[in-house]
Amino acid sequence: MSVMLDRLLKEKIVAIFRGIEDKDADQAAKALIDGGIAMMEITLNTEGATVMINRWREKFGEQAAIGAGTVLDLDMAKEAAAAGAQFIISPNLDEAVVAYGRERGISVWPGVTTPTEIVRAWKAGADAVKLFPLGTLGWKYLAEIRAPLNHIPMIATGGVNIDNIADYFRAGASAVGMGGKLVNLDWVRSGQFNLLTEQARKFTEAVKLL
């Protein structure tokens, strides 16, 4: 088992930072770390993402694993690796990205929806997959998919909130990816970083009970 997969299975939550402004990013990251979050993904369609990844590795590397999200192809994977990303997450499956990550010891968790995509990703060498989008499909879809494919770790992404997080784990999620429900950009913009910490604590406490 890779070091990052081991950490993912232990921490159970990946915070997704999308569209955050550089000036707010460090305080937001610190607020989540204070609330117990120890895996953070900055999506590459966020302006200045690679600069932030690089800086967070230096600033928060002892406290949290820092990865890149929305990595669509090999060029983007190379950018993420150059910035110091410890894991790569995609909304899609690109076998070249998985192979690149394996060569360099970077965990790649590609985005998949169907059983065929999940198995393809696993055969390509992904040690976990991001089941996406679950905002529409929900935890019942995850439960059905897990029945024949329970040997493949799945990160449930989309639609997870404080009321249903336990349902996702009971349905077989190995971890969850959380964006706006955890990284609330309205709170960030208004400087209410204490609310981010409180929210992070609610989710980390919830998964400890599972």
Whether 76 contacts 92, CB under 8 Å: no
At residue 49's C-alpha, the angle toward residues 43 and 53, to 5°, is 95
41 labelled catalytic? yes
Q: Is 68 exposed, middle or buried (0-12, 13-18, 19+ CB in 10 A)?
A: buried
Whether 60 contacts 29, CB under 8 Å: yes
Which residue among the candidates 95, 130, 202, 208 is catalytic per the annotation? 130
Q: First vs last Cα of the chain: how many Å apart? A: 22
User: Edge-to-edge, what's the strand order for the sheet holding 87-89?
Assistant: 107-109, 87-89, 65-69, 39-43, 13-17, 175-178, 154-157, 129-131, 111-112
Which residue among the candidates 11, 21, 41, 62 is catalytic per the annotation? 41
Whether 69 contacts 16, CB under 8 Å: yes
Catalytic positions are 41, 130
